[in-house]
Structure 1
């Protein structure tokens, strides 16, 4: 609606004068075409690309990486076709349940660009969903490994060198890098990069830096988005003193709670590339013939009036299309948590007394934090044993919840389902359920706990059953899902050697699966995915699944 020039500015930082130029066929050029036409014949390293391979002349960070069975990593892609459809195409190749934004036919339009390696048939679908009422688009990538040898090679030219080479690369592929989005920007004066970083209880400080030739990487290898870094990055040409309300801003936010990477590189030409996706340093995906893999979504937002407008756009998009619709516009209850008041020393009587004082102060919900389960007296025991300690709660949780509800207050509860203590009934029965290689003498027991392997279906089922029983037994309206340590010694004891590079991602998909089960089973329970405070502050949260 604002013209071709402004639409180009939103996507690539166009700084050209709007001088009409014509193609050889006589049609008016758009901004990108005018720019390209003004350049001499140059290599791929200077071009604006939507999807970048490696080893064919573009020396900037690539969009993807693949290993074929013959050891080759070369995968030049060619445009194969495209489709445009109303609404949002659902994620159906994600090998599990990933969080995704919604969108009906009246809300958005989806473009799918198909790129293919003509030799091997490996296909990449670049998916763009553009929202009508919010100035944002959502991107993700699907990679497909075709079954068998493409007919145009195996039948038409059965004895050619190309056909024989193709047959050596037609089996299992190993994807070791897959970005959700790659965006190349025109050269701009004084580009500044904005990231959010910090530490425990000190998260998400806005850091602004002037970008020169070179690369900056914001990432996490902790198994979560982490206190230290956030899966967000923004590029702006606004001045640092007035960045809140002036200047163009292009924001990127990865909808993913696990290991991530968002990188920005300025090339020798001054052009800038931003990649966002699963962290390739902990990712190797085994892709057999006939299979496909889908990346998490990345949200791209443009603002022409500083980061304040960008923030508002992100907020509106997530409120309307990511957080579960049943929570839209609803104000969360004012709550009081037992942790700072009692730590592990909780009991029926103490919680009721605290609830009475809270109710008199206008608090609407009491949340029972750590110390209520197993034989939990301190941080060394009982994680994984999700049943109430009858010594502290002789009437069980149902009795406590009824008494709190009788005060006119709601009730919430704390759990840390991804963790287990060595001193627990669960660990005694299933020591192999932990994320560490059996047989090694070394392992990290940070916070006196180990991490359960959520890539295992039996772990997912155990947690689902325990939390199902917990939430079904009482009128619990809020679940605080905590996660207080990061992933170390990551090894899946029931996963084959060639698939160990999948464990980090499969773990995250397993967590999403359990959260999705809880959201479907208990739609009126509000779930907060805490992580030692703000260590899990990524867009998915617990609500959208």
Structure 2
């Protein structure tokens, strides 16, 4: 069993293959967090708790004389509010009488087989007997509020999932002003925070800072997980590296407003609280109703950041992503966006498709501009009728000719948005998020539909269900190109407007769930102006996400590097675009652009007809090479061989087969040097006793030699040159 409860002490220990997590409810019903770290067997760690009379830290009612006992200093599993703990809280509420207190006490624990579910929200799933659930119940005796803490213990994956169900067991409505998913109190240790900040076209840039005796907050209030902050954070010991040291991750399975808060307390313990952002949040909980919080994925590694990344990569691939495409190579596609933008007709698309097929591409994706009055980004969103006048044919004629060429067909859509001049908005202005009496704020000349309205979700479901049912579409790129403002739902009463942003996410998940279940053979790719919603919540419906609108390969190296700390490369949409690059003006070699794009789901984002014959031959070779290495990218282990943020000369990464039979090492020179130092890389993850042939110098080495001594590359100069080195096991020593 992965979950054990001592019948005498009540001590509860959660065990994974390499970690333990321990908690305990005392005689007052306060649930203490005792430990999360390397496996400790059946040890009882209650004796490690430190208690002292810490001035101005109050005692619970009835413990006046026991001044070394205070909620303000204890490490807890989930905190109440207003009863003596002044640190970051998990819960904040207003009761019917106006009071704000919640005193949560232990009311029972159940150990259940399998994995719990979260109604309305994406969550990890059990592939069959790999998970056990702990259901821990806390109650406030005055208000009747109940909080059910859910723990999913995935033994082999070294992952523990957390969520909370907040239930109103009283006789009057309660206003929830904050309802976090999980709290993690670490009683000892020095920790640094690794988080992933950014902006549009430069997402998920890792930053590492020491935790201070202060509150450090990662959050989004944009209605999406955002380009600016990712709902994933790592706590690492100060000397932790890729290959050694302690670190633990917290990843929210949520795509909307979030908050991850860290605080080092006056007693030098560290608290991390994660969940929906409480900024502008208020949820009315009527008697008998339940609020479900999003899930958090916790994982711990004592062997450095690489091990933590592998654990998340494997878990997301096998326990979050449900798509039938999860384990299958993705079609190599050509997207017309950077080739044509919105200036195209059917003949131009067919010409691109014909050239793509001749070079070995497998799918054409028609991007923005195919519908309604859409000739630029100021009109047409919401009117999802094929523009026969612009294209010069019917939709089925367009698709039919592409299919006759032997290509699959994919389509760009942006269901969540509407243009102010669209017929849909004229017919249903109440369907958009706008504030009565105020002129609406626009972004990219568009408004946001109120996805919290069931009538909006039903309308969009019917529309896009019919689109997919009537046409031979193999791929959908689901975009979302502005953040929320004017968050006001015409459906909700005044006192419930604080629910609008979260109800939006529930509606989005409902729509995504219905369409992906109805059309399981369709490959859905998430997108939000590139990587503005790259999170585990979207991955539950879309097995890949467009990593960034910045297709410059030198920038993409850093974007994909930061993304890889938590998310698998097989989920990163990455394409070869034109040179000079449309975003930066930088010129790079076609081989370099291909090397970088092969570290994700490979495709093209340029007009292949403009390439020279030599470049077309190169594309044919790159496509063949991509097909050969796709199993490595999809199912192999990914290693960061260099630090892309600090290494100024070159960047290197490696994919290795799970059975260590082969590997691919990619090296890109990002700053060619005069009188250069040697480019030297040490490989990882090979069988030390096996012989491997490497294609760089056509030599054979043991795995130990490649991992400890490494490879020295010849001088590489020019416009950001790159090389891919194949490593094949040939024998055992």
Q: Which residue of 2 aligns with 1:263?
A: 261
Match of 1:84 among 100, 106, 111: 111
1-side partners of 2:307 and 2:154: how far apart?
Answer: 16
How far did residue 439 of structure 1 move? 2.5
Q: Which residue of 2 aligns with 1:330?
A: 328
Equivalences for residues 2-41 of structure 1 within 5 A: 7-8=20-21, 30-31=44-45, 33-36=46-49, 41=68
Q: Which residue of 2 aligns with 1:162?
A: none
Match of 2:469 among 472, 475, 479: 472
Change (3 A) 1:14 1:292: closer
Q: Which residue of 1 aligns with 2:407?
A: 409
How far did residue 3 of structure 1 move? 11
8 A contact 1:238–1:306 mirrored in 2: no
Q: Secondary structure at the match of 1:509?
A: helix
8 A contact 2:16–2:157 mirrored in 1: no
Cα displacement string for residues 291-320 of structure 1 (whole angstroms, at most 9, x for unaligned residues)? 111101110011111111111111111111
How far did residue 12 of structure 1 move? 6.5
Q: Which residue of 2 aligns with 1:55?
A: 82
**Structure 1, unaligned stretches of length 5 or more?**
21-27, 149-169
1-side partners of 2:200 and 2:36: how far apart?
Answer: 39
Q: Which residue of 2 aligns with 1:25?
A: none
**Structure 2, unaligned stretches of length 5 or more?**
3-14, 24-32, 54-67, 543-733
2-side partners of 1:333 and 1:5: how far apart?
Answer: 37
Q: Which residue of 1 aligns with 2:175?
A: 174
1-side partners of 2:532 and 2:100: how far apart?
Answer: 36
Equivalences for residues 373-388 of structure 1 within 5 A: 373-388=371-386
My pick for the range that moved more, 39-48 or 124-133, is 39-48
8 A contact 2:225–2:257 mirrored in 1: yes
How many residues are aligned here? 505
2-side partners of 1:358 and 1:4: how far apart?
Answer: 47
Q: Which residue of 1 aligns with 2:164?
A: 141
8 A contact 1:527–1:542 mirrored in 2: no
Q: Which residue of 1 aligns with 2:343?
A: 345
Match of 1:46 among 60, 68, 73: 73
What TM-score results when the alignment is normalised by the length of structure 2?
0.66
How far did residue 358 of structure 1 move? 1.3
How far did residue 120 of structure 1 move? 2.3
Q: State whether structure 2 residue 303 is matched by structure 1 residue 276.
A: no
How far did residue 119 of structure 1 move? 1.7
8 A contact 1:238–1:246 mirrored in 2: no
Q: Which residue of 1 aligns with 2:491?
A: 494
Cα displacement string for residues 396-428 of structure 1 (whole angstroms, at most 9, x for unaligned residues)? 221111111111111100011111111111111
2-side partners of 1:540 and 1:116: how far apart?
Answer: 29
Q: Which residue of 1 aligns with 2:510?
A: 513
Q: State whether structure 2 residue 157 is matched by structure 1 residue 130.
A: no
Change (3 A) 1:341 1:353: same
How far did residue 361 of structure 1 move? 2.1
Q: Secondary structure at the match of 1:310?
A: helix
How far did residue 360 of structure 1 move? 2.0
Q: Secondary structure at the match of 1:446?
A: coil
How far did residue 471 of structure 1 move? 1.1
Q: State whether structure 2 residue 422 is matched by structure 1 residue 424.
A: yes
8 A contact 1:384–1:424 mirrored in 2: yes
Q: State whether structure 2 residue 304 is matched by structure 1 residue 306.
A: yes
2-side partners of 1:448 and 1:4: how far apart?
Answer: 51
Change (3 A) 1:208 1:542: closer
Higher relative contact order (CA 8 A, sep 6+): 1
Q: Which residue of 1 aligns with 2:396?
A: 398
Q: Which residue of 1 aligns with 2:231?
A: 231
2-side partners of 1:216 and 1:353: how far apart?
Answer: 53
8 A contact 2:450–2:504 mirrored in 1: yes
Q: Which residue of 1 aligns with 2:8?
A: none
Q: Which residue of 2 aligns with 1:100?
A: 123
2-side partners of 1:207 and 1:495: how far apart?
Answer: 40
2-side partners of 1:231 and 1:136: how far apart?
Answer: 17
Q: CA RMSD in A?
A: 2.3
Q: Which has more strand, going by share of residues?
A: 2
Q: Secondary structure at the match of 2:279?
A: helix
Q: State whether structure 2 residue 194 is matched by structure 1 residue 194.
A: yes
Q: State whether structure 2 residue 138 is matched by structure 1 residue 115.
A: yes
Cα displacement string for residues 418-441 of structure 1 (whole angstroms, at most 9, x for unaligned residues)? 11111111111111211012322x
1-side partners of 2:138 and 2:535: how far apart?
Answer: 30
Cα displacement string for residues 194-228 of structure 1 (whole angstroms, at most 9, x for unaligned residues)? 10011111000111001121110000000000000
2-side partners of 1:433 and 1:544: how far apart?
Answer: 24
Equivalences for residues 439-478 of structure 1 within 5 A: 439-440=437-438, 442-478=439-475
